[in-house]
């Protein structure tokens, strides 16, 4: 009985940790993808504006994510 309770508590703790890690690092991945998109926009566009490129990339990534 004691062993089952310990197993259930361990599983709950692992699920909570995985949920927190997913939330923390999802923003990190989004920043990396947007940065790569901005660099690609800079290399392919003659009239480069960083704010417009950032907005374009964020919109495009969020649209593809859904």
Mean pLDDT by 10 residues, the chain (66 residues): 92 96 81 87 80 85 72
Cα gap 36→53, rounded to integer Å: 11
Position 65 scores a pLDDT of 63
Q: What is the pTM of this model?
A: 0.56
- Total domains, the chain: 1
Q: Which domain holds residue 40?
A: 2-65
Residue 57 CB: number of other CB atoms within 10 A? 19
Cα gap 64→66, rounded to integer Å: 6
Q: Are 34 and 50 in contact (CB under 8 A)?
A: no
Name residues whose C-beta falls within 8 Å of residue 53's C-beta, 6 or more positions apart in sequence: 37, 38, 41, 42, 45
């Amino acid at each position: 009985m004691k062993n089952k309770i310990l197993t259930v508590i361990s599983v709950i703790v692992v699920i909570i940790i995985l949920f927190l890690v997913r939330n923390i690092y999802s923003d990190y991945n989004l920043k990396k993808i947007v940065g790569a998109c901005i660099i690609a926009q800079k290399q392919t566009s003659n009239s480069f504006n960083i704010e417009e490129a950032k907005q374009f990339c964020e919109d495009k990534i969020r649209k593809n994510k859904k």
